Amino acid sequence: MSQNQIDALRAAPLPAFQHIVDGRRVSASDGRTMAVVSPIDGAVLTTCARGTTADTDAAIAAARQAFDDGRWSDLPPAARKKILLKWADLIEADALDIAVLGVRENGTEIGMALKAEPLSAAATLRYYAEAIDKLSGEIAPTDPAFLGLVHREPVGVVGAIVPWNFPLMIGAWKFAPALAAGCTMVLKPAETASLTLLRVAELGLEAGLPPGVFNVVTGEGAVVGARIAESMDVDVLVFTGSGGTGRRLLEAAARSNLKRVYLELGGKSPNIVFADAPDLDEAAKVAAHGIFRNSGQVCIAGSRILVERSIHAAFVEKLAAHAAAIKVGDPLDSATQAGAVNSERQLLQNLAFVDEARALGRKVIGGARIRQETGGFYMSPAIVADAAPQDRVFREEVFGPVVTVTPFDTEAEAVALANDTAYGLAAAVWTANLSRAHRMVRKIRAGLVHVNTYGGSDLTVPLGGVKQSGNGHDKSLHAFDKFLDLKTAWVKL
């Protein structure tokens, strides 16, 4: 990846983008479009279709037909695998192009975008493609007068609604296992991150996905997303996004066909640093990365740092130094470490949290809007160095580069503070005491607890939340559980 290649791609004019439905590009039924605004400079990049309920119904009907006639689910697993592997190859071959397209639309810095978006989506497709011809049913250990067979069958049409922070990575966590399992899908990207998913859907067709198997409808959540959620023809709904939307989806499922709803929601993840952390500077550096990468727009961001009181001052100093060293700016400059905030709305929301902490008299380091000549939506990392548990910034998800630091005195207090949240997505513990590390892993209510690290994991382990962070799991072979039903055949011999 050279800067010249990136610069050439960023200058490329973009076509108007349309839905991908039933194997074709189609405009909105009423011809309306949405402007795609780049957070890099606030300029309009292009347009994409503003989906209607009729568009959504047409996509669901295409997915229903493609599932019911078996054009995908009746293929031998090895044949589905071949198409998915080819799809992964096509994405990888176009990775830089796709990554730059995504950055122009959502502002993530290019190094991270390349790895976390197209390359991660290709790896995810390969992982699930490789798994499909290795999943078997069961023969139950029954009375020998009977034969009990347990089949695993694709559940049917899957609706997927995804957010803007990592549209391809999170999208692939849904579509790769769902399609590998033999399901068909209608996916709705977020309003501010649609283009790469449309591009990738086209590559799927080129790889040989039959029409109707993977449909992408762009538009507003309250129109397209709501229609998917209330459809009688969608069997399963998988979602990543905010808790408020998650509640609406559950209500829509209850009002319609009781479709299963799997939610990956937000977090307010505690990162707990004990005085016996193996390397305090490493803990501070990783903590800074754990909250400030992608400008804090990461669901598992370690947004609440809890520090043992004896090292609080030293830790804050180190954290501030690492935060100050993060180069914020043009996400298409390969030297940048944190790009633009996704939208002006999100930027103003982030700054409001910081202002409120200042008004409460908290010690705030950083957290200012950065004005670039080009315009665009940028801010410096913010540290609220002495946040109290009742502060809004300690309790609510910011989804921006804003972290709180709060001192504690005992292990029990650290656990109580860590669990003092409606969320339960991720957490971390920094300690050299092995017994304490394992005690903490057991006591913290979260789907993912890191020990002496933050943020890194891979496809082989599940990601999911407890409490109001959601249910069900993305990643790992457990992701198949959402898309494969168990059916028993009970045979008298």
User: CA angle 221-186-300, nearest 5°?
Assistant: 60
Interacting span for ligand NAD (CB under 6 A) from 63-71, 132-140, 237-245, 319-327: 237-245
Measured between alpha carbons, how far is 205 from 20 in angstroms, rounded to an integer?
A: 10
Of the candidates 383, 354, 400, which has an alpha carbon nearest to the alpha carbon of residue 39?
400
- Which residue in the list 105, 117, 230, 264 is annotated as catalytic? 264
Which of 245, 271, 350, 380 is in the footprint of ligand NAD by CB under 6 A?
245
Query: Binding of ligand NAD at residue 199 (CB under 6 A)?
Result: no
Quick check: is 299 catalytic?
yes
Interacting span for ligand NAD (CB under 6 A) from 44-52, 82-90, 106-114, 242-250: 242-250
Query: Least distance in Å: CB of 192 to ligand NAD?
Result: 8
User: Between residues 329 and 464, which has the closer beta carbon with respect to ligand NAD?
Assistant: 464
Q: How many residues bind ligand NAD (CB under 6 A)?
A: 29
Phi and psi torsions of 389, nearest 5°: -60, -20
Query: Binding of ligand NAD at residue 240 (CB under 6 A)?
Result: yes
Query: Binding of ligand NAD at residue 191 (CB under 6 A)?
Result: yes
**Hey, how many other C-beta atoms are within 10 angstroms of the C-beta on 136?**
9
Interacting span for ligand NAD (CB under 6 A) from 69-77, 105-113, 128-136, 263-271: 263-271
Measured between alpha carbons, how far is 260 from 283 in angstroms, rounded to an integer?
A: 40
Paired residues of 303 in beta bridges: none
Query: Binding of ligand NAD at residue 248 (CB under 6 A)?
Result: yes
Query: Binding of ligand NAD at residue 72 (CB under 6 A)?
Result: no
Query: Binding of ligand NAD at residue 264 (CB under 6 A)?
Result: yes
Length of the chain: 493
Exposed / middle / buried, residue 157 (Cβ in 10 Å: 0-12, 13-18, 19+): buried
User: CA angle 245-395-382, nearest 5°?
Assistant: 100
Quick check: is 183 catalytic?
no
3-state secondary structure of 342: coil
Measured between alpha carbons, how far is 380 from 354 in angstroms, rounded to an integer?
A: 11
Please give the residues from 425 up to 464 whose contact with ligand NAD meets the rule CB under 6 A.
425
User: Between residues 161 and 291, which has the closer beta carbon with respect to ligand NAD?
Assistant: 161
Which of 88, 229, 236, 402 is in the footprint of ligand NAD by CB under 6 A?
229
Alpha carbon of 52 to those of 25, 195, 222, 254, 414: distances in Å?
A: 15, 18, 10, 22, 49
- Rounded to a whole number of angstroms, the CA Rg of the chain reads 23
The secondary structure element, H or E, covering residue 171 is helix 167-180
Query: Least distance in Å: CB of 475 to ligand NAD?
Result: 10
Which of 154, 182, 221, 381 is in the footprint of ligand NAD by CB under 6 A?
221
Residues that bind ligand NAD (CB under 6 A): 161-165, 170, 188, 190-191, 221-222, 225-226, 229, 240-242, 245, 248, 264-267, 299, 397, 399, 425, 465, 470
> Mind telling me the catalytic residues?
264, 299
